[in-house]
Amino acid sequence: MRLSVVIPVHNEEKLIRKVTEDLIQELELNQIDYEIILVNDNSTDSSPKILEALSCEYKNIKVVSSKFPKGFGRAIRQGLEHITGEVVVIFMGDGSDEPKDVVRYYEKIKEGYDCVFGSRFIRGAKVKDYPLIKLIFNRLGNKFIQFLFLIPYNDVSNAFKAYRKEVIEAVQPLVSQYFNITVEIPLKAIIRGFSYTVIPINWQGRESGVSKYHIKELMRKYFFSILYVWLEKILLKEELRIKNE
């Protein structure tokens, strides 16, 4: 079972080589057949040169340049168009996610789950250097999602997740252009009835560079994505009701 790891990259010249090579080391240590898709999201620093160098040094790395304007969601969507593996993991390029957790996701998918979601806020998880204001908005937003969709999962907005390829195909078309894609994909998977499990993961704030996450700017976009999928859920229930009559 091949693993595709999609990593969006926007101005990560100080981190992306270490992030990529640490991931490669962990995947090869566990003898996992893999590819890494590095998506250059309109970087203006030396990231593009670093990505090209990595692709020359490692045969399992594919570099894709986003054809869209800058946007995390656009970059993810671009990367997903190039996957060839049966399992897909979305991984951050800022060093916040742990390579060992990618392996744990992969093993859980092999157990039979369609999706594996990580939570930074359950027993066994470790979080380091999470900005307080961002944490408050995160917890309030996820509580709202739990209430609206009646689900126990408490970290929907975390980008770092794993899916079978058929899940990614089933949730198309994806419309989110920014970080709100982090809620669109898992919520669409859930309302379509795909199975999932939740495991504790480790997360740490970036060691260098600048965060691309702007709370005020994204609140409206997150709300749009949540409402969009919730309405889709209502329509799916109505279609099922009519079909069963």
In this predicted model, what pLDDT tens digit does every residue of 5-19 receive, in sequence order? 999 999 999 999 999
CA distance 101 to 199: 9
pTM beyond cutoff 0.75: yes
Alpha carbon distances (Å) from 114 to 45, 117, 138, 148, 149: 37, 10, 25, 22, 19
pLDDT per residue as tens digits for the range 38-58: 999 999 999 999 999 999 999
**DSSP class of 97:** B
Q: Percent of the chain having pLDDT more than 90? A: 88
Q: What sign does the CA torsion over 6, 12, 15, 21 have?
A: positive
Locate 220 and state its tokens.
């409206």
CA distance 101 to 120: 12
Q: With 70 as the cut, is the pLDDT of residue 206 above it?
A: no
Q: With 60 as the cut, is the pLDDT of residue 211 above it?
A: no
Regarding the domain delimited by 3-244, which CATH topology (the fold level of the hierarchy) does it fall under?
A: Spore Coat Polysaccharide Biosynthesis Protein SpsA; Chain A (3.90.550)
pLDDT per residue as tens digits for the range 123-140: 999 999 999 988 999 999
pLDDT per residue as tens digits for the range 100-122: 999 999 999 999 999 999 999 99
Place of tokens 């089933």: 170
Q: Which neighbouring-strand residues pair with 116?
A: 162, 197
Helix axes 132-149, 181-191, angle to 10 degrees: 20
Q: How many CA atoms lie within 13 A of 12 on its CB side?
A: 24
Q: How many CA atoms lie within 13 A of 157 on its CB side?
A: 26
Pseudo-torsion of CA 102, 229, 193, 236, nearest 10°? -160
Q: With 60 as the cut, is the pLDDT of residue 209 above it?
A: no
Q: What is the pLDDT of residue 20?
A: 98
Q: What is the pLDDT of residue 207?
A: 64
